[in-house]
């Protein structure tokens, strides 16, 4: 029987919105006394699930709620879910970066974590010094780290810059070294969060190969968070799907990914907020986001030959601010496709007056393949790098190919599924 590497029991994490504290000394003492007895904090019971698109009735939000699972030694397990589902919070608790509000975790062995680019690196120290620092944090002796040094440097490909302070590294060099350190130093559990989002295709392939070697060859346990479902499917037999801080599915990866798609597909093509819940700040508030056709009609699905409009309706509360609009495009499996900013709008360099506005970004016909597209939106000041609002996974739409004979498409009259997310109609000569 395989031994249990990680066991999570009734794990929950609550975050206080706004000012932290109960407001009175007596309540603070009551909270402290409850913790001393191992009881739940009495002032967190009014907290709500972490649904970012609804207004909360309390100042406490549960980023994770009643999480339970076991992971056997040597397993490679994927953690998937939409933005804000609680994936990174879970990994931070498992890595002991932050503490749970309730519940407990137990594990066997040392944990090496790669939660963000360069986590645990000191910018003033060289690459070599940071390797020894990370090894010391894991409890390794200097001779043990020295034996691994050549292998780490070779994998990261930074031999020339090994004695240069890491603050001078590019993001690609930073993440190559960070992954090499986490994967090669002697830990029983490896936790990786979105490492493949940085780096070229060759490095990403190299990372997946190394994680497979770590899991299958060395018998180490790997937890892998990624928005790239192909990578999760290739590497993990089992995946845990999170939604609003709760486990929706825990089983075979294909089943969890299909469940993930179902959740994403349920996002509508129109979202309008209540007045008291408008996203934004004192400068601008977002009223609605809609997917429209050329006649301004809101639609859920479009033929691939149709133009598609992403419409933002917003209210400017303070004049004389230059506002840019941004849209993030994701596939139905949450792969980040591309972004678009309003660089050719007439408001590109002109301060907005007070009032209510609508702006539409038009996707040309014959651009997307048959697919489901998820949209996130933002409004910001590009000159001052000030983000006024950013709403993730707010609307979605579907593109279908009806094989119309009266319009030439990139597919012609061929039927059946085509690979890829986009399929633009190119000019051929």
50, 12 contact by CB (below 8 A): no
280 & 358 share domain = yes
Cα dihedral 275/276/279/284 (nearest 10): 70
Query: Last residue of some domain: 232, 264, 296?
Result: 264
Residue 137, pLDDT score: 77
Residue 23, pLDDT score: 58
What are the structure tokens assigned to 412, written together? 């012609």
Query: Does 17 fall in a domain?
Result: no
Query: Does 422 fall in a domain?
Result: no
Q: Which residue segment(s) compose the domain that 306 sits in?
A: 270-400
Query: Last residue of some domain: 264, 285, 319?
Result: 264
Can you give the CATH number for the domain in which 308 is found? 2.70.50.60
Task: Kindly list the averaged pLDDT for each block of 10 residues, start to end, along the chain of length 429.
Answer: 82 70 67 70 53 53 89 90 84 86 84 68 88 80 86 86 88 80 80 66 74 77 84 88 90 89 82 88 95 95 93 95 94 86 86 94 92 93 84 91 63 66 86
258 & 342 share domain = no
Query: Does 386 fall in a domain?
Result: yes
Residue 55, pLDDT score: 47
Query: Last residue of some domain: 215, 235, 264?
Result: 264
Residue 313, pLDDT score: 97
117 & 215 share domain = yes
Query: Does 38 fall in a domain?
Result: no
Query: Does 7 fall in a domain?
Result: no
218 & 309 share domain = no
Query: Does 255 fall in a domain?
Result: yes
Query: How crowded is the C-beta side of 200, counted as CA atoms within 13 Å?
Result: 5
Residue 121, pLDDT score: 80
* 3-state SS, residue 72: strand
Q: Tell me which residue of 263, 232, 233 sits closest to 247, measured CA to CA.
A: 263
Distance (Å, rounded) from C-alpha 19 to C-alpha 399?
45
144 & 202 share domain = yes
249 & 301 share domain = no
Query: Does 411 fall in a domain?
Result: no
Cα dihedral 412/415/421/422 (nearest 10): 10
Distance (Å, rounded) from C-alpha 208 to C-alpha 228?
12
Residue 19, pLDDT score: 44
What are the structure tokens assigned to 360, written together? 């539409």
To which residue do tokens 């792969």 refer?
Answer: 335
Taking the CB of residue 133, how many other CB atoms lie within 10 A of it? 15
76 & 197 share domain = yes
Strand 308-316 to strand 284-292: parallel, antiparallel, or no bridges (unpaired)? antiparallel
182, 190 contact by CB (below 8 A): yes
β-bridge mates for residue 398, sequence order:
301, 372
Residue 229, pLDDT score: 82
Tally of domains within the chain: 2
Distance (Å, rounded) from C-alpha 343 to C-alpha 341?
6
Residue 77, pLDDT score: 92
Query: Does 317 fall in a domain?
Result: yes
301 & 354 share domain = yes
Can you give the CATH number for the domain in which 165 is found? 3.40.50.300
Residue 198, pLDDT score: 54
134 & 222 share domain = yes
Strand 270-272 to strand 284-292: parallel, antiparallel, or no bridges (unpaired)? antiparallel
254 & 293 share domain = no
120 & 253 share domain = yes
250 & 305 share domain = no
């Amino acid at each position: 029987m395989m031994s249990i590497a990680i066991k999570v029991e009734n794990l929950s994490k609550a975050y206080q919105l706004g000012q932290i504290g109960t407001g009175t000394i007596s309540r603070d003492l009551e909270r402290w006394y409850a913790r001393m007895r191992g009881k739940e904090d009495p002032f967190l019971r009014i907290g709500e699930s972490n649904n970012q698109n609804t207004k909360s009735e309390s100042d406490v939000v549960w980023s994770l709620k009643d999480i339970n699972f076991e992971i056997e030694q040597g397993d490679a397990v994927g953690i998937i879910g939409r933005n804000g589902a609680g994936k990174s919070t879970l990994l931070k608790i498992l890595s002991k970066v932050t503490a749970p509000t309730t519940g407990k975790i137990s594990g066997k062995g040392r944990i090496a974590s790669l939660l963000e680019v360069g986590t645990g690196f000191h910018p003033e120290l060289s690459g070599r010094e940071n390797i020894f620092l990370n090894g010391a944090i894991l409890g390794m002796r200097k001779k043990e780290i020295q034996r691994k040094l050549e292998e780490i440097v070779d994998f990261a490909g930074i031999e020339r810059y090994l004695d240069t302070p890491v603050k001078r590294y590019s993001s690609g060099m930073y993440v190559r070294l960070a992954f090499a350190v986490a994967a090669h130093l002697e830990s029983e559990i490896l936790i990786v969060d979105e490492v493949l989002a940085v780096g070229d295709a060759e490095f990403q392939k190299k990372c997946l190969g190394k994680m497979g070697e770590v899991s299958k060859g060395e018998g180490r346990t790997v937890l892998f968070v990624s928005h790239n479902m192909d990578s999760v499917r290739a590497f993990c037999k089992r995946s845990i799907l999170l939604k609003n801080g709760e486990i929706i599915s825990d089983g075979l990866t294909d089943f969890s990914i299909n469940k993930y798609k179902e959740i994403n597909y349920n996002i509508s093509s129109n979202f309008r907020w209540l007045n008291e819940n408008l996203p934004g700040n004192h400068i601008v508030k977002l009223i609605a986001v809609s997917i429209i056709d050329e006649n301004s009609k809101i639609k859920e699905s479009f033929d691939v030959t149709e133009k598609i409009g992403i419409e933002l309706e917003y209210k400017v509360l303070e004049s004389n601010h230059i506002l840019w609009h941004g849209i993030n495009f994701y596939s139905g499996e949450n792969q980040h496709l591309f972004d678009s900013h309003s660089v050719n709008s007439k408001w590109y360099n002109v301060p907005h007056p007070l009032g209510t506005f609508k702006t539409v970004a038009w996707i040309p016909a014959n651009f997307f393949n048959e697919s489901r597209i998820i949209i996130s939106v933002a409004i910001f000041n590009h000159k001052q790098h000030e983000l006024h609002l950013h709403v993730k996974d707010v609307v979605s739409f579907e593109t279908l190919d009806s094989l119309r004979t009266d319009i030439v498409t990139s597919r012609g009259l061929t039927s059946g599924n085509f690979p890829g997310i986009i399929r633009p109609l190119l000019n051929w000569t």
